[in-house]
Structure 1
């Protein structure tokens, strides 16, 4: 679970053309005020360390940042922040080190490959990108290397751009970067999708190229591939977010805290520009329905990767209808096939091809119907215990 604290909501210094938060901005739902005391009370209620989020969290007054981080360090021993990196200054770096702030930076590539992350004009955009790149280098020099989030699109992940991205990844690794999260572009705008979105084939080519690159790197990892591998092996104890089945009205993986202390959900679910208050309990109706609904009607019926993929993020669902499976189904399926083949060639048994997969599916469905969401690993351990008690048919070895 991640506690995302958003004092200024989706307010941002950039105007990234594809941003999934744009529906909130278009609706005028941008916070201008926050109450530090209410934010702290809400965090205490959640009971865990937090990540400052946005929009852009470094728009917050530096005194308030220090108030939150010094308190967070004292209470939890750590802090976190996700930023575009443009505004990082010497005082921020001091606080990062003093209050143990792990920094995540959103950037889509070096130089012109980051142009979609717009700042009013091409000249200003290139300048802000250069500042972000310098911030990454500086944080690495200071011994606090950030993690990165990269969205793939036409400016950074077409066949001619991939060699540049690969070289950049190698440079990042040499600087000390170890963790990169890749995202397929998510937007509700058909214009932006047509202009910047990759075709399914291009997304597959790009992601497979990063998967192959990872095998050549020493330390830098793309977390999506580790998650997918662990899911195929039933080792999903630490898998989070979409891999665990997300209710868009409760988003168990993300507990949002707004500037007035209100509890909220992952921003990827705010398709109508409304930041709904978090539901008290998660429901798994989407996943039960997807399992039974034929693929031609937006479901996942018959897919051997269903328990690993679960129809992926409801924020990327077909026709923006969260009940459907993801519009990127073909991309994820091809990635699973690729990782599955590699595991099989290495002598592993994957859940996706296990003869008793159906029994595991039935147990997970039963749990969802009862409002529970066990991991594959927990369910398999329970089934093994059941086997030891004499019911050998319901087991996956």
Structure 2
């Protein structure tokens, strides 16, 4: 059995912020039970026990939301206790957490440092850009609180990545955002294209067009490349995955593998889903409290979730960039059952790869032998 990664939603879709572009709020609105509340301790124990009995070699527990810190610090202390209790196969365990940073204080930062958590914290850039969409329940910007949280992580030497949602405004402010991150020493960055709601054709003030995304990628790459050739290579998830492919390595990002992975995304009631973007009733695979891995895998096969993602679309056949792009994330193809589905950002990726490929090849040669996964 390969290493297992389990993503848990300890607070379901509950959140202490009201980000205007939140894809999970939209996702919850498309299922019978919008929120399952806070995960109960017996549910947590059942999940950890079942996962660790099945795991071999290594196992990663990723906590996301909603906002996972709403489960309280005691929840995570208990999770670590249960991991030790049920680690019957003596696997290597890693823990990570993705947070909006709103509730992070000294106690949280000390806990992350002491227990070697990798933290992903959401920050969309400088104050005006961040506060345009990342607001609290009263509609007020959250920039100051998030920056304070980051300062606490830095103070306690917690390993963290910056997660940035690329909206239309952000794409048109790429240079400003990247410069801000450099001035603050944020060397580990992940940029996430903003998703439109599930309703077909929906357009919002934050909707990201393919053209804006193309310009974002080009400008971001220009600045990142200049640092890389000076010997100041910084982590950018997308660019690192491209370098991995060019060096004959398996990309870490599932959307760049050409097929969805065997993911286990677990709601607060123990329900299991194949992907964070598909936590809706029709995609439910089972429940870790009552179902074993074999039952869950049978349901995955019945859904043909992975198989559907692996089908090479007509628009990809013959594309010179397919080996690097692999078609992208299934969520950006919806509806995948159409006659000729196309990734909404297809033209952006094509134009960007045409623009950047010679320099990517150069970096690939310079960094040959390095692992990018």
Which TM bucket (shorter chain)? 0.7 to 0.9
Select the residue among 312, 331, 351 that pairs with 1:290: 312
Please report how far the alpha carbon of residue 43 of structure 1 lies from its aligned counterpart in structure 2 after TM superposition: 3.2
Matched-pair contact (CA < 8 Å) for 1:4–1:51: yes
| Number of residue equivalences | 328
Please report how far the alpha carbon of residue 304 of structure 1 lies from its aligned counterpart in structure 2 after TM superposition: 1.9
Specify the alignment match of 2:23 in structure 1. 20
What CA RMSD, in Å, does the superposition of the two structures yield over aligned residues?
2.8
**Greater Rg, structure 1 or structure 2?**
1
Specify the alignment match of 1:185 in structure 2. 194
For the pair 1:239 / 2:271, whether they are aligned, the reply is no
Q: How does 1:231-270 map to 2 (within 5 A)?
A: 231=245, 233=246, 235-247=248-260, 251-252=261-262, 254-270=263-279
Tell me, what secondary structure is at the counterpart of 1:8?
coil
Specify the alignment match of 1:214 in structure 2. 224
- CA distance in 1 between partners of 2:222 and 2:13 (Å): 35
- CA distance in 1 between partners of 2:54 and 2:321 (Å): 33
Specify the alignment match of 1:333 in structure 2. 350
Specify the alignment match of 1:166 in structure 2. 178
Please report how far the alpha carbon of residue 320 of structure 1 lies from its aligned counterpart in structure 2 after TM superposition: 6.6
Please report how far the alpha carbon of residue 162 of structure 1 lies from its aligned counterpart in structure 2 after TM superposition: 2.8
For the pair 1:204 / 2:218, whether they are aligned, the reply is no
- CA distance in 1 between partners of 2:359 and 2:14 (Å): 43
Matched-pair contact (CA < 8 Å) for 2:61–2:93: no
Matched-pair contact (CA < 8 Å) for 1:314–1:324: no
Specify the alignment match of 1:387 in structure 2. none
> 4+ residue stretches of structure 1 with deviation over 3 A?
69-78, 189-194, 272-275, 278-289, 318-323, 343-348
Select the residue among 68, 73, 76 that pairs with 1:65: 76
- CA distance in 2 between partners of 1:117 and 1:156 (Å): 12
Please report how far the alpha carbon of residue 113 of structure 1 lies from its aligned counterpart in structure 2 after TM superposition: 0.6
Matched-pair contact (CA < 8 Å) for 2:213–2:345: no
Matched-pair contact (CA < 8 Å) for 1:104–1:149: yes
- CA distance in 1 between partners of 2:116 and 2:68 (Å): 16
Matched-pair contact (CA < 8 Å) for 1:256–1:264: yes
Runs of 5+ unmatched residues, structure 1? 349-397
Select the residue among 46, 49, 52 that pairs with 1:44: 52
- CA spacing shift, 1:285–1:347, aligned 2, 3 Å: closer
TM-score calculated relative to the size of structure 1: 0.74
